């Protein structure tokens, strides 16, 4: 659908500019009309050109947006970045107090024989949360663990934006004690990159989440 929209927007803009040129050439083609109405070809073309530019600004914006979306789709890049971040209004704890977990390799998602805590432990739990389908496993039945949103497989920018916003809300809700804000969610190939702020860490975090389904 996006490619069709690009095609029709382009055709519409071309037709408009052809009409501009045609109207501007009227005084040249019909000199008698030009004399009677005191029409100047350069003046007419300029006038129609400026009017068309003003009238077509929205189409230009839509065309550029559609072209960008098509390029991003080919590159497998989608991004949700709202005008205002998703904010947690509840009391939160320092990320350094996040409970201990087993470390695991972020590429293979295999558990390693080492313990981590604080921010590293938080990252592991977030990766597991995003990759866990809600209510799929008995161990998580009746809990709020996991999500029904699959941002790794969406190929529509509008749908990605909608689901990413819902996922951000679910992440805030589940990790209510630790996250201050979520700024954006971006997908680059097989990864999601979540930009967020956690309490106890001055810098903004960019947490890279691999698609666990590619390793199963």
State pLDDT tens for residues 186-210: 998 789 999 999 988 889 999 999 8
First to last CA, the chain: 32
Which two structure tokens, joined as six digits, stand for 1?
Answer: 């659908």
Torsion-angle region of residue 185: left (phi > 0), alpha (psi -120 to 50) or beta? beta
Residue 136 and residue 40 in one domain: no
Q: For residues 209 and 185, give the distance between their C-alpha atoms in angstroms, rounded to a whole number.
A: 10
Domain limit, last residue, from 16, 47, 75: 75
Residue 52 and residue 105 in one domain: no
Domain limit, last residue, from 34, 50, 75: 75
What is the model's pTM? 0.65
Count the residues in the chain. 216
User: Does residue 111 sit in helix, strand or coil?
Assistant: strand
Which two structure tokens, joined as six digits, stand for 127?
Answer: 């990766």
User: Does residue 106 sit in helix, strand or coil?
Assistant: coil
Residue 117 and residue 103 in one domain: yes
Q: For residues 64 and 105, give the distance between their C-alpha atoms in angstroms, rounded to a whole number.
A: 40
The 10s digit of each residue's pLDDT in 43-101 is 555 656 666 666 556 666 665 666 566 656 555 678 999 999 999 988 688 999 999 98
Residue 44 and residue 83 in one domain: no
Residue 167 and residue 202 in one domain: yes
Q: For residues 43 and 30, give the distance between their C-alpha atoms in angstroms, rounded to a whole number.
A: 15
Residue 39 and residue 86 in one domain: no
Domain limit, last residue, from 27, 53, 75: 75
Residue 41 and residue 148 in one domain: no
2 versus 163: which is more confidently predicted?
Answer: 163
Q: For residues 124 and 38, give the distance between their C-alpha atoms in angstroms, rounded to a whole number.
A: 76
Angle at the Cα of 212 (from 211 to 215), degrees rounded to 5? Answer: 110
Looking at the 3D structure of the chain, how many domains does it have? 2
The whole domain housing 138 covers 78-215
Residue 68 and residue 88 in one domain: no
Residue 66 and residue 82 in one domain: no
């Amino acid at each position: 659908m996006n490619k069709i929209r690009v095609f029709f927007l382009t055709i519409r803009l071309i037709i408009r500019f052809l009409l501009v040129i045609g109207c501007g050439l009227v005084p040249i083609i019909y000199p008698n009309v030009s004399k009677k109405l005191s029409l100047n070809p350069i003046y007419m073309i300029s006038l129609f050109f400026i009017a068309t530019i003003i009238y077509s600004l929205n189409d230009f914006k839509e065309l550029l947006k559609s072209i960008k979306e098509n390029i991003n789709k080919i590159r497998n890049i989608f991004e949700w970045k709202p005008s205002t971040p998703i904010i947690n209004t509840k009391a939160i704890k320092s990320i350094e107090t996040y409970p201990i977990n087993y470390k695991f390799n972020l590429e293979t998602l295999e558990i390693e024989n080492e313990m981590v805590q604080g921010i590293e432990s938080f990252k592991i739990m977030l990766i597991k949360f995003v990759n866990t389908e809600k209510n799929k496993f008995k161990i998580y039945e009746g809990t709020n663990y996991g999500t029904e949103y699959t941002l790794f497989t969406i190929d529509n920018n509008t749908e990605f934006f909608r689901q990413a916003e819902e996922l951000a809300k679910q992440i805030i809700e589940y990790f209510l004690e630790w996250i201050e804000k979520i700024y954006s969610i971006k997908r680059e190939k097989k990864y999601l990159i979540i930009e967020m702020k956690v309490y106890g860490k001055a810098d903004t975090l960019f947490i890279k989440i691999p698609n666990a389904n590619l390793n199963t």
